[in-house]
Amino acid sequence: MKRLRLATRGSRLALAQSGWVARRVEAKLGIAVELVTVRTSGDRLADVSLAKIGGKGLFVKEIEEALQDARADLAVHSAKDLPARIAEGLVLAAFPERGDARDALVAREAGWHLLGLPHGARVGTGSARRRAQLCALRPDLEVVALRGNVTTRLERLTEQRFDAVILACAGLDRLDLGSRIHERVSADLMLPAVGQGVLAIEARSGEALAADLGALSDAPTARAIAAERAFLARLEGDCNVPLAAFAEPQSDGTLRLRGMVLSADGARVAQVEARGADPVALGIAVAEAVLAKGGAEILAELRREVAS
């Protein structure tokens, strides 16, 4: 049987995640997998603000093109990097079990935690969502833009350019760097990004492989992501928008979904929580409630700022 080609970014984290999925595919489907490294626009423009060059979709575009052109058979993405709508002719075939969805505080000094950082501490992040939530929680902090892969961001901390950096727990765990985490920040303090902690496996729609890959999907994770991505799609969210959504499966079979939109400075927040059995309907309902609660005005202002 032919060997499957799995498209992936070339970062250490992307290769670790794709290697994990490749081993799962080989075990579940009995087909050998080779990794095909694709350099994305987001990788080439590593020193430029994502908001200025088109958002996180730039980590996905070239990988999706490799699928569309049949240079690869499947792809692995960090679900939080996926835009609200994926490319034509492709499908998100599987979502393996979610890792730790929380944000991670990695600090310069042992024992520091988010609410206990020194007044005026310098904190690095490349995320508009994290920046806005940090500003809302701790207006005294100096929040500084920080891009680059996980290793680069940790090096900036070692070089003492920052007092702390905020990363994703799941990424650090997958690189066996969980011991570097000083605080796994509660979702009650910082609501995670849509899809944070989840790997998305993408393939061409209508092909047998797409259906076969469903064997790798975790049903509770898939339901949670359906709700979060429905929220994202309704708000037409992108990298420029500080928004968050986190769905948690409940013992009665429903989902608890929390969603929010913030102004860039964190001064205004529109947040809603609801529960429901239909993931997509729940995501749309929470998005509509956020818009009605002031989110529409916040989004309009954010988009005016970007346009100008």
Please give the positions annotated as active site.
Answer: 81
Can you spell out the DSSP letters for 50-112? Answer: HHHHT-GGGGTHHHHHHHHTTS-SEEEEEGGGS-SSPPTTEEEEE-PPP---SEEEEESSTT-
Alpha helices in the chain (DSSP H): 12-29, 41-44, 50-53, 61-68, 128-137, 150-158, 169-174, 208-212, 219-235, 279-290, 296-307
Name the token pair of 4: 């499957």
Instruction: For residue 239, give the nearest of 109, 132, 93 by alpha carbon.
Output: 132
Task: Using DSSP, state whether 259 is helix, strand or coil.
Answer: strand
Q: Is the dihedral of CA 13, 17, 18, 20 positive or negative?
A: positive
Judge contact between 203 and 68, C-beta under 8 A: no
Name the CA radius of gyration of the chain, rounded. Answer: 19
Query: Which tokens belong to 292?
Result: 């009605």
